Structure 1
Amino acid sequence: MKVVILAGGFGTRLSEETAVRPKPMVEVGGRPILWHIMKIYSHYGFKDFVILGGYKVDYIRNYFLNYRGKQTDYTIDLKSGHVEWLRGINEDWTVTVLDTGSESLTGGRIKRAKDYIGNETFCLTYGDGVSDINISKLVESHKASDCWCTLTAVTQPGRYGALRLDDKSSHVMAFREKGEVDGGLINGGFFVCEPEVLDLIDDDSTTWENEPMERMVKMDKLGYYHHQGYWQSMDSLRDRMVLESKWADNPPWKVWND
């Protein structure tokens, strides 16, 4: 199952960092937060990634093109270009990096990846949030439902979109993005989607959190998985500082062992 990660936005609320690199490449503990997200998924056996780049996508491309050289020792024959790697690396990932356009909105980015996603169930998340969520249980919950998309509902007050949930059916009854006084359960990303959701996205100007989700709510095809553990997005410099402090002292989202 592929893991699709949205990584193309401008990250304007983290402009101190994103003036030189895309937000998913802002580091926590010396590693891009994108790497942390990928480590979470790979811990549960999901290792085929599709990165939806846009703003400063070359930064992401270069990171993965040079990934092995930065992680391990090597000997290079400068004349022939042959490289002998002196030790291996831990990440047995397949990574596809796509340029989905600097101006595309979240839905448009996903739509542009249709040919790479294929006609199969896929995971989807944002490139700026970490959690100790059990991805395997999330996928099991989705497969047990009749929904086209299952989002992860997490607790976070304030500046995010509020959800109204049906406890009996595990379906989302209403979705409202970024109200000023919202609290309670919110959309934390970490979606599992059926390929049918791609047909609900009109074009590059479509926001994933608006029309497609609203259509699924009306069709009773948007479900939720309630995660009661740790979740934190990196939406501001303060958020990054929170994550840095957590990383220095037993980070709760570090579910992997290496």
Structure 2
Amino acid sequence: MKDWNHVAVSPYTTILQTMEVIDRSSLQFSVVTDEEGRLLGTVTDGDIRRGLLNGLPLSTTINLVMNQKPTYAYAYEYQVYKCKLLEVKGVQQLPIVDQDKKIQHILFSKEETHIEPKDNMVILMAGGLGTRLKPLTDNLPKPMLRVGTKPILETIIEGFKQHGFTNFAFSVNYKKELIKSYFQNGEHLGVSISYIDEHERLGTAGALSLLPTRPNKPFIVMNGDLLTKINYNQLLEFHNDTCSDATMCVREYEYQIPYGVIQTENHRLQSIEEKPMHRSFVNAGIYVLNPDVLNYVPHKTFFDMPELFKIAMEQNHNVSAFPLREYWMDIGQVHDYDKANQDFLSIFQN
């Protein structure tokens, strides 16, 4: 890439501003330079997510998040060496600099617009009763509710297809015949769909025990009532890059305590904080699992995903959290459904 300036930021650019640069370029990458164009560092989507997990606010300057020792090559070095460096270092982008470390161009390991097909399985949990959405779910399973112009499940499939995922399995129970009739084998949507029949409700992980064949590589599990703009390719790369056995997507949840909170030492009042805001990461209902983790799922037993993660941690597996910064909506109640319909045109049709 000769024209690299549109992915360049200064070290004093905020995390939020850098996110906008990264998303706008679709390269999931930015270079940090001084005023003379000298390379100071690089920033990837993963760098930003790790910063958010560490509690950094979006107003933080990017120099606190960037990789201060990025891999780069000099312009005078042979092209074959540069390409080999990309491969050996396992990076997707390689800044090429002159002897003063001024960026000349950026070498990419693959075409920017190429979407690599993936055969990793995606399992969508679509068997819930949708009790909190009654009466909307009296005659329809929740994943078949229309948001915008199509069922929630169809929008989910389209999101995965944008990132090369086409191999799906639906876990179904409540009014499953409506789901099967609409989606069939997925051919009309350009994907492959199989079905896991839950004859009794098995929770958000129990149905994994019914898989006819165990996946041979990491697979994604997602609740079938979510709308999100997450980049599933970034999620899978994060899981692989961190050598994780299980990865849980998390999102920041903010809430305010409606009272003055006090701190004491014995009988003495130490401080008063009036109506403080608290921030926590919560489960976002999207997961990546290595096949071996399935060993902990009991057969045909009600079993939820948080319990699976607890066991994996107790067994000293590498368990990671992937913070979402994209649009995310859990359609659990009627007001969530109304909000999703309001958001649909601007979020999913632009």
Normalised to the residue count of structure 1, the TM-score between the two structures is 0.74
- In the alignment, which of 286, 294, 308 is matched to residue 190 of structure 1? 286
- In the alignment, which of 189, 195, 199 is matched to residue 101 of structure 1? 199
Counterparts of 1:193 and 1:66, CA distance in 2: 24
SS at match of 1:101: coil
- 2:320 — aligned with what? 223
Task: Say if 1:67 and 1:151 are closer, same or farther in 2 by CA, change over 3 A.
Answer: closer
Q: Give the alignment of 1:1-12 within 5 angstroms.
A: 1-12=120-131
- Whether the 8 Å CA contact 2:168–2:192 is kept in 1: the answer is yes
Q: RCO (CA 8 Å, sep 6+): is it higher in 1 or 2?
A: 1
Task: Say if 1:151 and 1:12 are closer, same or farther in 2 by CA, change over 3 A.
Answer: same
- 1:119 — aligned with what? 216
Task: Say if 1:27 and 1:102 are closer, same or farther in 2 by CA, change over 3 A.
Answer: farther
- Whether the 8 Å CA contact 1:55–1:101 is kept in 2: the answer is no
**Aligned residue type for 1:6:** M
Q: Give the alignment of 1:1-258 within 5 angstroms.
A: 1-65=120-184, 91-113=189-211, 115-157=212-254, 184-218=280-314, 219-248=316-345, 250-251=346-347, 254=348
Q: Which blocks of at least 5 consecutive residues in structure 1 are unaligned?
A: 69-88, 159-181
Counterparts of 1:51 and 1:213, CA distance in 2: 21
Q: What displacement does 1:183 show?
A: 5.2
**Aligned residue type for 1:95:** I
- Whether the 8 Å CA contact 1:2–1:48 is kept in 2: the answer is yes
- Whether the 8 Å CA contact 2:173–2:198 is kept in 1: the answer is yes
Counterparts of 1:211 and 1:238, CA distance in 2: 29
| Per-residue Cα deviation, 1:10-37 (whole angstroms, up to 9, x for no partner) | 1111121211121111110121111111
- Please identify, of 10-19 and 220-229, the stretch whose mean Cα deviation from structure 2 is larger: 220-229
Normalised to the residue count of structure 2, the TM-score between the two structures is 0.56
- Whether the 8 Å CA contact 1:119–1:195 is kept in 2: the answer is yes
Q: What displacement does 1:105 show?
A: 2.0
The two structures, once aligned, show a CA RMSD in angstroms of 2.3
Counterparts of 1:145 and 1:63, CA distance in 2: 38
Aligned-pair identity in percent equals 25
- Whether the 8 Å CA contact 2:245–2:317 is kept in 1: the answer is no
SS at match of 1:214: helix
Q: What displacement does 1:48 show?
A: 0.8
- Whether the 8 Å CA contact 2:186–2:193 is kept in 1: the answer is no
Task: Say if 1:190 and 1:107 are closer, same or farther in 2 by CA, change over 3 A.
Answer: closer
- Whether the 8 Å CA contact 2:204–2:223 is kept in 1: the answer is no
Task: Say if 1:123 and 1:55 are closer, same or farther in 2 by CA, change over 3 A.
Answer: same
SS at match of 1:18: coil
